Amino acid sequence: MAFAAFGGGAPAKDNSASRKGGPIVLALLLPGMIYLGLFFMTPLLSLLVTALESPDPSGAIGAYFYDVNFGNFLTVVTSYWPQILRSFGYAFAATVFALAISYPLAYFIGVKLRTSPLIQRLLLTLVIAPFFISFLLRTIAWKQLLSDDSAFVSLLHALNILGPTQFFIGSDAAVIFGLTYNFIPFMTLPLFTNLERLDTRLLEAASDLYASPNKVFRKVTLPLSMPGIISGTLLTFIPIAGDYVNASRDFLGSSKTSMIGTMVEADFLQNWNYPSASALSVLLMGLILVMVTFYVRKSGTDDLL
Amino acid sequence: MATSNAFAGADLELIDIRKDFPGFTALDDMDLTIPAGQFFALLGPSGCGKTTTLRIVAGLETPTQGQVMLGGKDITSAKPHERPINTVFQSYALFPHMTVLDNVAFGLRQRKVADAQKLAEDALNLVELGHLGDRRPQQLSGGQQQRVALARALVNRPSLLLLDEPLGALDLKLRRQMQIELKAIQLEVGLTFLHVTHDQEEAMDMADIVAVMNKGRIEQMGAPEVLYDRPKTVFVSKFLGQSNLFVGEVVEKNATSVSIEVGGNKITVDKKRAEKHTGKIAIGVRPEKADFHEKKPKLGSDHIVIGPGEIIDIRFTGVSNQYLIDIPNVGEVTVFAQNVGKSPEIALGANVYVSWKVEHSYGLADLPSGSEEE
């Protein structure tokens, strides 16, 4: 379903060639199909089935029976709507920040550094370099760097940005910072891939046709980099909306920053409320799917994707 | 579609332009004046600096030194979008994310011209593509894209239109057709055209004035007929058409002519058609101006006769035969004879004399490479 959204809803092509090649094509597809069937479709179905289960009449904790209980969805929405809103709010803010930081960076590496490929490669490696260290470890490191007695927080106190009893860790800003930081490479790389291929002759043509540098960017560079922006924002927004590490109180968050992921984790591992956790997961999936479809359609870059 | 006086182009003047790139000099003390309304061609091999010149005029490169004047105004430091100049790029550079019509209207919309849509439609009609306005550039053929690029530049009525080898990517037949159309449009709209090309036929065919460039300098400039008839340097004589060149010491000089001696033959040039009158000089003649004879012809002093030499190659090219004649101590001489049904029946290996009229000789300012230290 998500792939249809990525493809801009292009009609499936009638590929007669693959039909002709019947047995061989099927044989080649089989491993992939089995893999997807076992490790994607089965868990997904299991998730959907669990999301509709009802509590066992015996009242035993963690015991449920098969049912078609859509009430689970209503329950998660009524009890978790603040986390749902917060998740998408965080995801939106972090995606915007990541785009604001990544676009100039990707433009610089992909366009300005074309003449010096060595530096280009080097900088690109630096963008990816953080991946060599575990995501958890890096986030813990930030927790230390931004901790209550850190130089950073002292500075915020000195500048009166934070009151004497306020701290950074545990705030919305800390979580958004962590999310932005952790997902920047997912934004930079698709943008770079797109901008690397940007035909700068088109920019010259636009300035030759009376467009000021500002107009050249808005009328030519930006529309031509839309495919990169779309893939970058999707690759950051979707995982951020489901993230539960940064917002966790063990990392950069607090009880006031819990996201959907935090609640799924709590319901599943602590409350043993599997139907609630599943319903919340399905809901997250559904919401993302709707947003992504709307976003891709709306941005109208079908022919550039 | 417009009266030519209303949109008459402006004079372009390049004064002492120099352009250095890291490691080499692309342009060296270049001076150039293009009068308003002219179709001017910059002709030269790749790497001669012609595209750099064009980019400096468009504002896409900044000259290391010198001034660019347009209509008497110094525009050297003006940004590309501030110059009343438009370019038809070699790659066309059509915006792939816009329709053909939006491409054409782009410049008008940037300047907030009223009625941009209507003017763009008119411009598309001028290049006979009015019916394709809704398409994307990628959906058009090369020739159609080229015409869109032309319409996109022309619609702005620039004082100066730059053409950067816009016909290079087209096949021969389409190129011919576009050359004719371009010339017709230029006459119709009366703009100043600066056309950069490496195709000598294209330059001679279309331009009022041709400047031949080599190694960052203009070697010679003038009307195509004049350049062809009277090249002044070895480079021009070889780049613009073909030339037979003869190098020798001046042995005879009088009030009207200069003669050199080459391998026992005397080759004469009119004094006013020669750049140098003393020492070792090169004299040339076009292959189609020369004739050959099986017997030594009895011709007056207004003719040059050299030979005999052996015909070592005959090429049939359709409209003419090309004969390569090896004359001992002189070298190889090419003679074109038109296929008008009376070409001499001559076989490979025959010994012939070559002749031409003195008035067709031209004396060059320099010597072919390799002959300086002989």
**Mutation target vs A (from B82, B97, B146, B162; most A CBs, 10 A cutoff):** B97
Question: Could you report the per-residue pLDDT of B24-54, keeping only the tens digit for each?
Answer: 889 988 899 998 888 999 999 988 889 999 9
Give the SS3 label for residue A68: coil
What value does the CA radius of gyration of chain A take, rounded to a whole number of Å? Answer: 23
Whether residues B287 and B188 share a domain: the answer is no
Interface test with chain A among B60, B110, B163, by most A beta carbons within 10 Å: B110
In a domain, B368, yes or no: no
Single-letter residue type at B97: H
Tell me if B89 and A215 make a contact (CB, 8 A cut-off): no
B94 interaction partners in chain A (CB closer than 8 Å) = 205
Whether the CB-CB separation of A227 and A300 falls below 8 Å is answered with no
Angstrom distance (rounded) from CA A167 to CA A54: 42
* ipTM associated with this complex: 0.82
Of B194, B229, B264, the one marking the end of a domain is B229
pLDDT in tens, A126-140: 999 988 899 899 999
- Whether residues B187 and B249 share a domain: the answer is no
Q: Specify whether B222 is located in the same domain as B250.
A: no
Digit-coded pLDDT (tens) for A68-107: 889 999 999 999 999 999 999 999 999 999 999 999 999 9
Half-sphere exposure of A251 (CA within 13 A, CB side): 24
Among the partner residues A204, A223, A303, nearest to B93 by beta-carbon distance: A204
Looking at the domain covering A81-299, what would its CATH class be? mainly alpha
A214 and B CB contact within 8 Å? no
Report yes or no: B227 and B239 within 8 Å, Cβ to Cβ.
no
- Kindly state whether residues B253 and B189 are assigned to the same domain: no
The confidence band for A4, taking pLDDT boundaries of 50, 70 and 90, is: very low
Q: What is the mean pLDDT of residues A155-160?
A: 90
Residues B185, B91 within the same domain: yes
A187 touches chain B (CB under 8 A): no
Let me know if residue B369 belongs to a domain. no
Scanning every residue of chain A, which has its alpha carbon at the shortest distance from the alpha carbon of B81?
A210
Q: Find the residue in B nearest to A202 (Cα).
A: B93
pLDDT score for A5 = 40
Q: Supply the pLDDT for residue B1.
A: 37
Residue B28 and residue B127 in one domain: yes
Q: Do B80 and A201 touch (CB under 8 A)?
A: no
CB atoms A205 and B93 under 8 Å: yes
Domain count, chain B: 2
Ranges of beta strands (E only) in B79-234 are 85-88, 160-164, 192-197, 209-214, 217-222
Answer yes or no: do B110 and A208 touch at CB < 8 A: no
**B86: which chain A residues are within 8 Å (Cβ-Cβ)?**
208-209
Residue B102 shares a structural domain with residue B147: yes
Do B91 and B220 share a structural domain?
Answer: yes
Give the distance from residue B95's alpha carbon to the nearest chain A alpha carbon, in angstroms.
Answer: 7
Q: What is the DSSP string of B20-73?
A: EETTEEEEEEEEEEE-TT-EEEEE--TTSSHHHHHHHHHTSS--SEEEEEETTE
Do B357 and B264 share a domain, yes or no? yes
The nearest CA of chain A is from the CA of B171 a distance in Å of 23
pTM (two decimals):
0.81
pLDDT tens by residue, B118-171: 999 998 988 888 999 999 999 998 888 988 998 999 899 888 999 998 877 677
Crossing angle between the packed helical segments B100-110 and B116-126, to the nearest 10 degrees: 130
Residue B228, helix vs strand vs coil: helix
User: Are B152 and A209 a contacting pair at CB < 8 A?
Assistant: yes
- Together in a domain, B292 and B356: yes
Which has the minimum average pLDDT: A82-91, A169-178, B316-325?
Answer: B316-325
| Domain encompassing residue B136 | 12-229
- Nearest residue of A to residue B158 by CA position? A209
Residues B97, A205: C-beta atoms closer than 8 Å: no
Task: With beta carbons under 8 A apart, name residues in chain B contacting A207.
Answer: 59-60, 79-81
Strand B160-164 to B85-88 pairing: parallel
Query: Are B128 and B202 found together in one domain?
Result: yes
Residue B135 lies in a domain: yes
| B102 to chain A: closest CA residue | A219
Query: In whole angstroms, what is the distance from residue B261 CA to residue B252 CA?
Result: 9
Q: Choose the mutation target among A210, A221, A229 for the interface with B, i.e. most B CBs under 10 Å.
A: A210
* Two structure tokens written together for A175: 């979580």
Residue B167 lies in a domain: yes
For A229-273, what is each residue's pLDDT tens digit? 999 999 999 999 999 899 988 899 888 899 999 999 999 998 899
Q: Within 13 A of B351's CA, how many CA atoms are on the CB side? A: 5
Does A115 contact B at CB distance below 8 Å?
Answer: no
Q: What is the CATH number of the domain that holds B335?
A: 2.40.50.140
Residues B223 and B249 reside in one and the same domain: no
A26 part of contact set with chain B, CB < 8 Å: no
CA distance B215 to chain A (A): 24
Domain membership of residue B236 (yes or no) is no
Contact of A219 with chain B, judged by CB distance below 8 Å, is answered with yes
Q: Tell me the CATH number at B78.
A: 3.40.50.300
Would you say B273 and B356 are in contact if contact means Cβ atoms under 8 Å apart?
no
Domain locations along chain A: 81-299
Mean pLDDT across the stretch B64-93?
A: 92
